[in-house]
């Protein structure tokens, strides 16, 4: 409910300050907007390349096969194997993760342990690969350094912490 | 690293499809994936144009500078390499606030601007320390209200759709803090290797 008010209020506040400080609001808006358009165009090849590769991997069945392969390893570590697909897809593809979360919630019920865990996992991390693609792509960074490594480590921590927190809060 | 990962995703997929007999699906997915990317960029375009226009006004009106003065003590610790009153700081804070309030589509344009300003600071095509820290905080996403998840839970008849807000908040906080720590550790290792 807050979010319905939030955006219009932010816009109103920014414009009010601009008028008071005599900033040529419309001209400046258009100037900034042009930059946004350029950014969107330069993003397309990065996103397209990434999304095609991901959809090849998913549609071939390779990703599912890999998940089946590591399920027993995960359950031996105490991680609920049912949620292995979500844990693996979350850093790779946002749309895929969202559909997997919906499936899990539908299958196990939103108020079950697995449903709550899926909800928490979905909400507590973002799609690392997408963020790296968009942010580095838009400004033309070629060498990512440790960014991917740290991002993936953070995802792993996020998954482990979600399991611990949900077990501790709801069991 | 990203070059190898990207190529491997496609190669593994295609080779697996040869063995698994799913070549037809792969053919379809090729163009579906491309279509999806175009659709995504079009929906991003409206967001980028609008929010970057608004943010430019905020910058010119001095709102971003105000925001960064307000939170300087905290952010300075996390981003020690960004000079005081640099525009990058304002955009970083704008991006964090948008994420915090669940305005995901406003967060992206501000994040890109923040990256641009940080690139001006480093002046190279290599990711700087500040950029990596910024991205890590973004990938572990601090959100107060995960609106999408709540909507899905409501759709499937949850008795308490918002009960996961607290668990998500705790998980995301712990994750973000540990991510910052891991980043620091790797940064220190990088600097040692350089000496």
pLDDT(B28) > 70? yes
With an 8 Å Cβ cutoff, are B56 and A165 in contact?
Answer: no
Question: What confidence score (pLDDT) does residue A1 get?
Answer: 47
In total, how many domains does chain B have? 1
pLDDT(B4) > 70? yes
pLDDT(B102) > 70? no
With an 8 Å Cβ cutoff, are A28 and B57 in contact?
Answer: yes
Tell which B residues from 133 to 192 touch A, by Cβ distance under 8 Å: 135-136, 138-141, 143, 145-149, 152-153, 155-161, 163-164, 166-168, 170-172, 174-176, 178-179, 182-183, 186-187, 190
Who among B2, B22, B156 is closest to A105 (CB)? Answer: B156
Mutation target vs A (from B167, B185, B192; most A CBs, 10 A cutoff) = B167
Q: pLDDT tens for residues A72-124?
A: 888 888 888 888 888 888 888 887 888 889 888 988 999 999 999 999 998 88
With an 8 Å Cβ cutoff, are A39 and B48 in contact?
Answer: yes
Q: How many CB pairs under 8 A join A and B?
A: 340
- Confidence category of residue B51, pLDDT binned at 50, 70, 90: confident
pLDDT(A2) > 70? no
Who among A3, A39, A131 is closest to B101 (CB)? Answer: A3
- For B29, the domain range is 2-194
Which residue is closest to B149 within chain A, CA to CA? A119
Q: What global pTM score does this model have?
A: 0.83
> What percentage of chain A reaches a pLDDT higher than 90?
36
Greater model confidence, B70 or A13: A13
Question: What confidence score (pLDDT) does residue A98 get?
Answer: 85
DSSP string, chain A: -HHHHHHHHHHHHHHHHHHHTT--HHHHHHHHHHHHHHHHHHHHHHHHHHHHHHHHHHHTTHHHHHHHHHHHHHHHTT--GGGHHHHHHTTT-HHHHHHHHHHHHHHH-TTSHHHHHHHHHHHH---HHHHHHHHHHHHT--B-TTHHHHHHHHHHHHHHHHHHHHHHHH-
Question: What is the ipTM score, two decimals?
Answer: 0.82
Average pLDDT, stretch A41-65?
Answer: 89
pLDDT(B13) > 90? yes
Average pLDDT, stretch B44-55?
Answer: 87
Greater model confidence, B106 or A133: A133
- For residue A72, give how far its alpha carbon lies from the nearest alpha carbon of chain B (Å): 21
């Amino acid at each position: 409910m807050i979010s319905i008010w939030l955006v219009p209020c932010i816009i109103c506040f920014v414009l009010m300050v601009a008028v008071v400080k005599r900033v040529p609001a419309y001209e400046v808006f258009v100037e900034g907007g042009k930059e946004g358009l350029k950014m969107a165009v330069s993003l397309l090849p990065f996103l397209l390349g990434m999304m095609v590769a991901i959809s090849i991997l998913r549609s071939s069945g390779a990703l599912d096969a890999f998940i089946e392969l590591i399920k027993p390893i995960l359950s031996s570590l105490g991680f609920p194997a049912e949620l292995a697909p979500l844990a693996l897809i979350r850093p790779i593809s946002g749309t895929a993760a969202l559909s997997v979360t919906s499936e899990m919630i539908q299958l196990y019920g939103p108020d079950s342990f697995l449903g709550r865990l899926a909800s928490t996992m979905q909400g507590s991390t973002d799609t690392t690969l997408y963020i790296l693609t968009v942010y580095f792509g838009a400004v033309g960074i070629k060498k990512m350094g440790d960014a991917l490594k740290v991002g993936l480590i953070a995802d792993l921590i996020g998954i482990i912490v979600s399991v611990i927190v949900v077990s501790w809060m709801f069991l | 690293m990203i070059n190898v990962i990207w190529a491997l995703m496609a190669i593994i997929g295609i080779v697996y499809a040869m063995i698994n007999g799913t070549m037809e699906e792969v053919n379809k997915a090729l163009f579906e994936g491309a279509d999806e990317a175009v659709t995504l960029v079009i929906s991003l375009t409206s967001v980028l144009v609008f929010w970057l226009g608004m943010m430019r006004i905020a910058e010119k009106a001095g709102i971003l500078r105000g925001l960064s003065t307000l939170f300087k003590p905290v952010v300075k610790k996390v981003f020690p390499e960004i000079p005081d009153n640099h525009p990058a700081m304002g955009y970083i804070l704008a991006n964090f606030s948008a994420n915090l309030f669940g305005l995901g589509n406003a967060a992206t344009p501000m994040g890109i601007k923040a990256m641009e300003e940080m690139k001006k600071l480093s002046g190279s095509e290599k990711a700087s320390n500040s950029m990596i820290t910024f991205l890590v905080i973004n990938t572990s996403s601090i959100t107060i209200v995960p609106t999408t998840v709540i909507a899905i839970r409501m759709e499937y008849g949850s008795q308490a759709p918002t009960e996961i807000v607290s668990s998500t908040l705790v998980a995301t906080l712990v994750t973000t803090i540990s991510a910052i720590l891991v980043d620091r550790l790797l940064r220190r290792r990088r600097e040692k290797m350089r000496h």
